[in-house]
Amino acid sequence: MTPTRDGRKRTFVEEARRRQILACAVDLIAEHGYANATLARIAERAHISKAAVLYHFDNKEEILRQVLTETLDELTAQLAEALSAAASPPDAIAAYVHTLIAYMAGHPAGVRILVEGLASTELVTGTNMRTQPERWRIVADIFARGQQSGSFRDFDTHTAAICLNGAIDAIASEMLANPDYAPLPAAESLVDFTHRATLATGY
């Protein structure tokens, strides 16, 4: 149970109210986007006053920063588990792509939170958010290990990591823009494309 601003432990009722407010913020971002998830709308969705929302959170940015942090924590945990189970660097690349895109397919609200939240300067600036360079380094490190083991051919791992993450981001954007788009087959195609471009001859 998280503490209050003055260090006091929150009651179960207070913690439940915070969870309700965060859940309403998630729904509003999914339906209307970050810019339109106002304090007034969050309060209305939670059936409480705006003052009651501000009792639990300092401002809208704190609410949305918490939503973004929790979404990233959930996704990061799933990704870490998938990568730890991968038997080889090519399997790790496949696990990376499949885990991210499967999460997007199962959490459409999470996709919008990540796409809009990570692009929001007021949410990211001054926080300990996972940055884009950190994403690229994860993939670049997998490519580098694969090159050392002989499973990947020689190429610039940084550029390849940027390209792979850019493709995943493009799939996320297409999901938001086109409800009929099928992300899971797209994941299969992206893994196949990446392996064809990076695997060493004869691997």
pLDDT tens-digit series, residues 63-82: 888 888 888 888 889 999 99
Q: The domain 68-198: what is its CATH number?
A: 1.10.357.10
For residue 124, give the nearest of 33, 26, 23, 34 by alpha carbon.
34
Cβ within 8 Å of residue 115, ≥6 positions away: 169, 172, 173, 176
Question: In the chain, which residue ranges form alpha helices assigned H by DSSP?
Answer: 12-32, 39-46, 50-56, 60-85, 89-106, 108-118, 121-124, 132-149, 157-177, 183-198
Distance from C-alpha of 109 to C-alpha of 86, rounded to nearest angstrom:
28
User: Could you say which of 1.20.1560.10, 3.40.228.10, 3.90.45.10, 1.10.10.60 is the CATH number of the domain covering 1-58?
Assistant: 1.10.10.60
pLDDT tens-digit series, residues 4-60: 555 567 788 888 999 999 999 988 887 888 888 899 999 999 999 999 999 999 998
Residue 92, both tokens: 């790790």
For CATH 1.10.10.60, the residue range(s) in the chain are: 1-58
For CATH 1.10.357.10, the residue range(s) in the chain are: 68-198
pTM above 0.85, yes or no: no
Distance from C-alpha of 3 to C-alpha of 12, rounded to nearest angstrom:
11
